Amino acid sequence: QLELVESGGGLVQAGGSLRLSCAASGRTNSRYGMGWFRQAPGKDREFVAAISSGSGKTSYADSVKGRFTISRDNAKNTVYLQMNSLKPEDTAVYFCAADFDGLPTSTKNDYDSWGQGTQVTVSS
């Protein structure tokens, strides 16, 4: 069983930065694709960013391109989301997820394992 634990969330002013981490334990595998999603109150969970296994190909939602960067450290079984130039509309619970097929998919139903989430609040 794969366990994912997010950390690094918090309260930040607009224009600030945060770095989220997602630590994997259990049945870890560097061949997993990893993604970040977010869910604001009353809204559906939406794709933020993803990174493939192997080549580390990345994909981003249009709303975060140029501001967020996803990366992974396979030796540490950890995936990161560097968030810069944060906006109030980035406020949400952020979840990481693993795709056992290794793809940087933006489709939440493709993911096989999820963390519990970490709250990010951006004040104006």
Structure tokens at 87: 């906006």
The residue to which tokens 């990893």 are assigned: 34
Calpha distance 43→29 (Å, rounded): 31
- Residue 18's H or E segment, with its range, is strand 18-26
Q: Rounded to whole angstroms, what are the CA distances from 27 to 10, 39, 61, 123, 124?
A: 28, 26, 28, 37, 40
CA distance 40 to 120: 10
| 124 has pLDDT over 80 | yes
- Average confidence (pLDDT) over 48-58: 90
Q: What pLDDT digit, counting tens, does each position of 69-94 carry? A: 999 999 999 999 999 999 999 999 99
